[in-house]
Structure formats: structure tokens, C-alpha cells
Structure 1
Amino acid sequence: MQQDKISRKTDFIIGKLRFLKENKPESSEDFKNDEILQMAVLYGIHTAIEALVDMTVIIEICRNKSQNPGDYERIASLFENGLIDEDEYDGLRRLNGLRNAIVHAYDSLILDEIYNNYEPIINDIGKITQSFCEKY
């Protein structure tokens, strides 16, 4: 059951990463001025991170039989129990923070941050997803 859920999440994430790679804004200005592109990219990033965080929940509950209430607590529990390494821990925390910023639209600076870090964001999502698939 766990592998099936992780496999479905992985397929979903791969689809979103493919979309994001194919639809990278040409420039920061284009990104800021095209609301449809903003919505598509932000939704793609948000849902890919959401699926990745869901994977942490599946792994954490199955491995630790735990019901930690929050995403950061779940991520910390995986790290503390040796189920993810420090790079994955740091990456998941950063991505979860980015997801929160997207969902809650903290400020307009998020567009510059996303554009300037587009490839690292996609790479982090991909690396952590691949690691989870290989481990679990």
C-alpha cells in the first residue's frame, strides 16, 4: 500500500516537473506581467511540493507509527529517526516554506525569488522525490 501511494505521488510530481521545465518564463518581467503564467507556475510548484510533503506523511506514519500534527514536525521526525539525510531535511523545510508562501501569498517578492531560483526549486523537488522512491 505504501509503495503504491508513493508511486502515484511520484508520477504526479514527475508530471508537474515536466510541465514546469517546459513552461519556464522567458524573463522575470514576463513572469511578473503574465498572470496566467504566474498562476500555472505557482500551482505547478505548489502541487508538486504538496505531493512531496504528502510522501513524507506516508513514510513517517508507516515507519514511525506516528501522528505528528504538522509538516515541519513530520519532516523533523523523519530526520531524527534517520529516514532522511540532512540535505533532504533542509530541502524539505525550504520547499515547505516556499509552498506556504505560495499558498498564503505572503508578498509579491515571491515571484522574483521563484524566477531567480527556478531550476534549483525543480531540482530539489526532483532529487528528494527520487530519493524517496529509491528508499521506500
Structure 2
Amino acid sequence: MVNQNIIKAKINHIERGLQRLKGKKQITPAQLKNSADLQDIVLHNLQLTIQGCIDIASHIISDQGWTVPDTLAGLFDILGEHKVISKDLDSRLKKMVGFRNIIIHEYGTIDMDKVYKILTHDIKDIRLFLKQICLYAKI
């Protein structure tokens, strides 16, 4: 059984980041491209929310005694295999992990058009992840 208190704390952390991002959804792509401050706020909160999803996945896998994957993206494969999350969501979250790695490890230039798409569209996948986790953990 997963520790609901740990999951709830992680969800609250993710929700704070999502709230910060929600306040930036009204910006235009040009505003994002031209403002280092906006870029920092958006990238930092994307990083935190994606990391929170990774932390939740890792916690569930550890608590359940499932095989730990070799990669962070593989965490979502394991959750998908055990029907904690849908397979479709699994593949989208793996892409988010790749994006998180770009932010953290500064693999080249960050494409602000892609950041804008994540901010205005793909962020819903994190909310869907939280919903599916709450169902699984009975929160």
C-alpha cells in the first residue's frame, strides 16, 4: 500500500507549480520568447511539476516492490504496465521527462515554442496524472 501522506504532499507541491503556471497561460508566444523572467518562472515550475510526477512514480514503484527501471522515463512504463496510469498517458509523460532533462542539463537551446505548447496544452497531462494517481491511491 502506498503512503497516502507522501503522495498527498507531492500532489500539493505539484499543484503549487501548476497554479503558478496557470497564471502564465495568458501570455503570448512572443511575450514568452522576449522575457527572461517569464521563461525562468515557466521553466522552473515545469521542472518542479514534472519532477513531482517522477517522485510520485518512484514512490509507488518502491512501495509496491515493482522492478525499478533504468531510466526516469521508464518509471511511467512501469506505472502503465501495472495500470496505475493509462498507456497513452505513460507515453506522453515520458516525453515530459525528456523535456525536464533538457531544462535541467541544458542540452542545447530550449525551444520556447515547445515550452509555450507545453504551458498552454500539454500541462493537462500532469493534471490527468494526478487524477489517475488519486484514483489508484484512493485519495
Same fold by TM-score, threshold 0.5 exceeded?
Answer: yes
Residue 63 of structure 1 is matched in structure 2 by 64
Matched-pair identity in %: 25
Structure whose residues are more often helix by fraction: 1
Q: TM-score, normalised by structure 1?
A: 0.88
Contact 1:25–1:37 (8 Å) recurs in 2: no
After superposing on structure 2, the runs of 4+ consecutive aligned residues of structure 1 that deviate more than 6 Å are none
Q: How many residues align?
A: 136
- Per-residue deviation, residues 46-104 of structure 1 (Å, max 9, x unmatched): 00000011000011111234443421232222223333221221122121111112112
Runs (5+) with no aligned partner, structure 1: none
Once the two structures are overlaid, the 10-residue window that deviates more, 66-75 or 46-55, is 66-75
Aligned AA (1:19): R
Change (3 A) 1:127 1:83: closer
Structure 2 equivalent of residue 35 of structure 1? 36
Question: Which 5+ residue runs of structure 2 have no aligned equivalent?
Answer: none
Give the alignment of 1:111-130 within 5 angstroms. 111-130=112-131
TM superposition score normalised by structure 2:
0.86
Structure with more relative contact order (C-alpha pairs < 8 Å, separation 6 or more): 1
- The answer to which of 46-55 and 122-131 deviates more is 122-131
Separation of aligned partners in 2, 1:74 and 1:122: 19
Contact map agreement 2:57 2:76 (CA 8 A) in 1: yes
Match of 1:44 in 2: 45
Map 1:75-114 → 2, pairs under 5 A: 75-114=76-115
Paired residues of 2:73 and 2:98 also in contact (CA < 8 A): no
Residue by residue, what CA displacement relative to the aligned partner does 1:109-136 show, whole Å, maximum 9, x if unpaired?
A: 5211111332222211111112111211
1:5 is aligned with what amino acid?
I
Q: Using the alignment, how far apart are the partners of 1:21 and 1:95 within structure 2?
A: 17
